[in-house]
Amino acid sequence: MMRFAYSTLGWHGPLRETCHSIAELGFEGIEMFQLLYLVEQGKDIRAMLKEFGLQLCAAYFGSAFVDDDVFPSELADVKATVRAMTGLGAHILILGGGRVRRGREDSDKMTFIRNLNTLGKVAREYDAILAFHPHMWTLISSLAEIKKVMEATDPELVKLTADTAHLAGGGAEPTAFLREYRERIVHVQFKDRKDHEFVELGKGNLPIRESYEVLARQGYRGWVTVELDASEDPKASAKANANYLRTQLGIERLRFHPG
């Protein structure tokens, strides 16, 4: 059974209020953006998760990962993030990155691939899974670039996060991608897009329903995170997204109830 979470990306205000709103809308899990920063700021995330009955499903970490002089610092931050994440019960590290440096793309892609394998080993040492997130405006965004990364990385170390909007923005067809890379996908993000802007589910032109149906047919049993990068009213947007899941996808209960 798929399980549904909501991302903290795009919310304003105190983290506790965000957790409260996400739980109130019926979501079972939460995906943390900037987890390491929140931990370093002394946020008692464990207490918030317990208070609102939420599970941490994954944490997102993004960086450049193309500069050999900077990578040791990035690696240390990834390790700290994975330790914090697994300590809170999550095991999926969503990794974004690949800073574009004009004129250095080819060599940087080789560096990035090598670093992905290294980071995948680090994640495994902490009983976690690295789920690479292809992302527009980064070194790896097109279907051809994603394919090259998948072919050049260890499939046991480097898995995938499938973000419907970023896949489409990079030229991939989301449902075809979900079918082609079903063995590597360990995390999914539902996000809609219209006229180059991210919008609430159902307000864009992406095949969200079809993507859900593909996952269901494939027997996907992982987390699906709903995400909207920015909104003037994040709570209203989250409510609209929850309503879409219930009315358009027929998911009456967002929380998993055994039996």
pLDDT of residue 187: 98
Distance of CA 11 to the CA centre of its chain: 16
pLDDT of residue 255: 78
pLDDT of residue 259: 42
Q: Tell me the mean pLDDT in the region 139-148.
A: 97
Residue 207 lies in a domain: yes
Residue 254 lies in a domain: no
pLDDT at 1 over 90: no
d(CA 132, CA 61): 10
d(CA 187, CA 162): 6
pLDDT of residue 241: 98
pLDDT of residue 254: 84
Contacts of 124 (CB under 8 A, 6+ apart): 130, 157
Residue 252 lies in a domain: no
Tell me the per-residue pLDDT of 90-142, one tens digit each, with 9 for 90 and over. 999 999 999 999 999 999 999 999 999 999 999 999 999 999 999 999 999 99
Residue 83 lies in a domain: yes
Which residue's structure tokens are 């329903």? 209
Smallest CA-to-CA distance from 182 within 145, 209, 136, 217 is with 217
Q: Tell me the mean pLDDT in the region 226-237.
A: 96
Number of folded domains that form the chain: 1
State the virtual CA torsion across 59, 62, 66, 72 in degrees, nearest 10. Answer: -60
3-state SS class at 34: coil
Tell me the per-residue pLDDT of 151-173, one tens digit each, with 9 for 90 and over. 999 999 999 999 999 999 999 99
The helix (run of H) or strand (run of E) holding residue 129 is strand 129-132
Tell me the per-residue pLDDT of 20-38, one tens digit each, with 9 for 90 and over. 999 999 999 999 999 999 9
pLDDT at 206 over 50: yes
Q: How many CB atoms lie within 10 A of CB 99?
A: 17
pLDDT of residue 100: 97
pLDDT at 52 over 50: yes
pLDDT of residue 251: 92
Residue 257 lies in a domain: no
pLDDT at 258 over 70: no
Residue 255 lies in a domain: no
Q: Tell me the mean pLDDT in the region 210-214.
A: 98
Q: What is the CATH number of the domain that holds 182?
A: 3.20.20.150
d(CA 176, CA 169): 14
Count Cβ atoms within 10 A of the Cβ of residue 232 and give its class: 0-12 exposed, 13-18 middle, 19 or more buried: exposed
pLDDT of residue 57: 98
Residue 258 lies in a domain: no
**β-pairing verdict for 185-190 and 223-226:** parallel
pTM of the model: 0.96
Residue 239 lies in a domain: yes
Count Cβ atoms within 10 A of the Cβ of residue 107 and give its class: 0-12 exposed, 13-18 middle, 19 or more buried: exposed
Sign of CA dihedral 113, 118, 121, 126: negative
* Domain span at 92: 3-247
